[in-house]
Amino acid sequence: MNFDFDAGFDDDTTQMRDMVVRFARRELASPGCFDDAGDFRRRWRLAGKQGLVGTSVPGEFGGSGLDAVAAAATMEALGYGCADTGFAFSVAAHLFAAVMPVVEFGTEEQRGAWLPALSSGERIAAHAVTEPEAGSDALRLHTRARAVDGGYVLNGSKCFITNAPVADVFVVQAATDARGGFFGLTTFLVQASTPGLTVGRPYDKVGLRGSPTADVHFDDCPVPAGAVLGAEGAGASIFSSSMKWERTCLFAAYLGAMRRVLESTVEHARNREQFGSPIGDFQAVSHRIVDMLGRYEGARLLLYRAARSLADGGADEIGPALAKIAVSEAAVQLGLDAVQLRGALGVLDGEAESLLRDALPARIFSGTNEIQKNNVARALGLGRRRPVARR
């Protein structure tokens, strides 16, 4: 097995993918845990010079202008070449959850002010939506934005915010209508240096340890009217759009990590001998590897189908949800299988146990897999309470 596989990519995308793999292997090696903000930014700037943090940003604002398929291919290559899946996750979260909302909903002034630096690696963005009591129920946020002369004042707290310890700007979802509902949320672009904004200590996580994560607090934090992204009340629409990008293109990084571990597992099965034969000769081992490959390939097909729909401007809600479910579940199971097939070596520090730890959060972030199933059922016209016929 090698990385030379076809997903209908054109020559430019194939060459770009191979270049990203070589770059990531050469420049993005790290211990795989966030403990040095300076080194994190050093690698981030390198990734920016390579075009990785702005792949889907239009060229006029310093990005590469790639569509969703090519952007997913880039993230897959990054996940394959960079053994620090947490770093790849941070890049993808920055781009798809925080930068793409500015691309799609920002004013010309907002785009010009933020996108060039966010695309070059000079600045880092974070998407602040999750709260202690509003994770899956994103329409009932407790963070409030109170209108005042010239703008708003934010009060509240966010938790589990990817890139928070290193972010220069936050894309913040807050309630401008206390009654909640679809039109009760508004999105703000808030600079990290704004008075009243504080970031907590980085979390010590089980997985994605190379991705810095922390809480964010707003205490009478002033934001000007020009910091509103889209329009007041458009927050839910902006959030939904960003999740389509995230549930599709971000999860491509996991495909790359899965492929990397799958290849090393095959190599291990070919070379590890027990009872006088390579363990790959045993049917229990070979069949498990075939199952690993099948899950990987099936998840990959779903993801790129969703990416193609997104690139074509489709309004598909089912595709991104199914892709997110398939990739995350396949990554967890592939990690379990890779650990099992390595025996005692699998529970030592290495890429098999790292994939498993990094995959576990994938079933939770971007909307839990249970919520994704609810979304798919709702799109199919299921899960609604049927009115009772009156007699």
Q: pLDDT in tens for each of the 391 residues of the chain?
A: 554 455 678 888 999 999 999 999 999 977 677 878 899 999 999 999 999 999 999 999 999 999 999 999 999 999 999 999 999 999 999 999 999 999 999 999 999 999 999 999 999 999 999 998 876 676 778 999 999 999 999 999 999 999 999 999 999 999 998 776 778 999 999 999 999 999 999 999 999 999 999 999 999 999 999 999 999 999 999 999 999 999 999 999 999 999 999 999 999 999 999 999 999 999 999 999 999 999 999 999 999 999 999 999 988 889 999 999 999 999 999 999 999 999 999 998 889 999 999 999 999 999 999 999 999 999 999 976 544 444 4
CA-to-CA distance for 355 and 339, rounded, in angstroms?
9
Given the residues 108, 122, 133, 246, the one annotated as active site: 246
The pTM is what? 0.93
Please give the distance of CA 247 from its chain centroid, rounded to a whole number: 7
Classify 199 as helix, strand or coil.
strand
Give me the numbers of helices (H) and strands (E) for the chain, helices first please.
Answer: 12, 10
Domains, in order of start, for the chain = 11-124 (1.10.540.10), 126-234 (2.40.110.10), 238-379 (1.20.140.10)
Q: Is 131 a catalytic residue?
A: no
Alpha helix ranges (H) inside 317-383:
318-342, 351-359, 369-379
Q: Which phi and psi angles does 124 have, rounded to 5°?
A: -125, 140
